[in-house]
Amino acid sequence: MDDIATPHETYFRESFSRREVALDFLRAQLPPGLLAELELDSLRIAKDSYVSKELRASFSDLVYRVRQAGGELSVYLLFEHKSVPEYWTLLQLHRYIGAEGEQYRKQHPQARTLPPVYPMVIYHGKRAWKAPAAFHDIIAPLPAALAPFVPSFTYHLVDLSERTDAEIKGTVLSRLVQLALRWIYSDTPSERLRDLLALIERIEDRETAVEILESLLRYYVQGTGCLDEPEVRQLLQQTSTGDPVMQTFIDRYIEQGREQGREQGREQGREQGRQQGEAAMLLRLIERKFGTPSEAVRARIVGADAETLLLWSERILTAESVEAVLH
């Protein structure tokens, strides 16, 4: 993406770019009649980059292509990560579909037809999704005589925020991803993360489990805004698994935190040392220019921050009294 991705967009891309997650999700979400028309095992994630910069700023798009009789079906997963639903989603989808047609035409110059597109919107915001559901709903006025000349389509909405936890279906992996999105705005993120860690324990492929764990931890620290690294490390220690692969990652994650803490401590120590040196130098200058400073002046200088010490050190060059330096 050209713009800096939000934690929600990053997690969505990392998760739904996994073929096993996409396959399980689509099996659970697509209508039975449509599933019967598809060879879902042929699914691949398209790498085409045709979405305009202004759209990328608001959406994180993924396009899946699946074989069907007579061509390919492109399935859009359009992720709405805002807490406020996007009213103009249909207009943006219309532009996406047109761009997909142009891309297909360039790749298949001999073609005289386009593959169908099935738009999906995944939403997990705080507020109810009330955006228009059909393209004709955003066109007004629309006399009956004009209706045939206006595009007419809708989209498949997967509103994770409206579903109960029990209604989130799928294998452990895809269910974990959906629950992570659904719970990101929870008032108890630490408890929710604990539940997600329990699900990770059920992922059979341990290398996959480690990748999912790493992505999840990053998402919940950055995405919730109220979980910090020390809390996460403590939670990992409390729910630590005996699995060698997972334990290696957890140990590395915790040790990384300890090293970050040590480095912060060293930096704080260096900063404190610099401030003490600057304070001592200023006191010597005051003593030489104005005589021995009082205990009150000494206390003010020793307790000052680096920026204030720098300001006072500049003032002493022209000041006529200690009061003029510290005013």
Quick check: is 280 in a domain?
A: yes
pLDDT at 51 over 80: no
pLDDT at 240 over 70: no
Give the single-character DSSP code of 69. T
pLDDT at 226 over 90: no
Quick check: is 266 in a domain?
A: yes
Residue 54 CB neighbour total at 10 angstroms: 12
Query: What is the residue type of 123?
Result: Y
Report if pTM > 0.85: no
Of the chain, the percentage scoring pLDDT greater than 90 comes to: 22
In terms of residue numbers, what domain contains 267? 250-326
Last residue of a domain, one of 143, 169, 195: 169
Rounded to an integer, what distance in angstroms lies between the CA atom of residue 278 and that of residue 73? 69
Rounded to an integer, what distance in angstroms lies between the CA atom of residue 22 and that of residue 41? 11
pLDDT at position 150 is 96
144 and 265 in a single domain? The answer is: no
pLDDT at 262 over 50: no
Quick check: is 204 in a domain?
A: no
User: Count of domains in the chain?
Assistant: 2
260 and 147 in a single domain? The answer is: no
Quick check: is 1 in a domain?
A: no
Quick check: is 175 in a domain?
A: no
> Is the separation of the CB atoms in 83 and 28 below 8 Å?
no
Task: Answer with the residue of higher pLDDT: 310 or 277.
Answer: 310
142 and 52 in a single domain? The answer is: yes
Quick check: is 188 in a domain?
A: no
pLDDT at position 152 is 95
139 and 269 in a single domain? The answer is: no
Last residue of a domain, one of 169, 189, 206: 169
pLDDT band at 2 (very low <50, low <70, confident <90, very high): very low
CA dist 301 → 74, 89, 136, 296, 309 (Å) = 68, 59, 71, 9, 7
pLDDT band at 50 (very low <50, low <70, confident <90, very high): very low
Quick check: is 161 in a domain?
A: yes
281 and 137 in a single domain? The answer is: no
267 and 154 in a single domain? The answer is: no
Quick check: is 259 in a domain?
A: yes
- pLDDT tens for residues 174-212? 999 999 999 999 999 889 988 998 888 888 887 888 888
Last residue of a domain, one of 141, 169, 197: 169
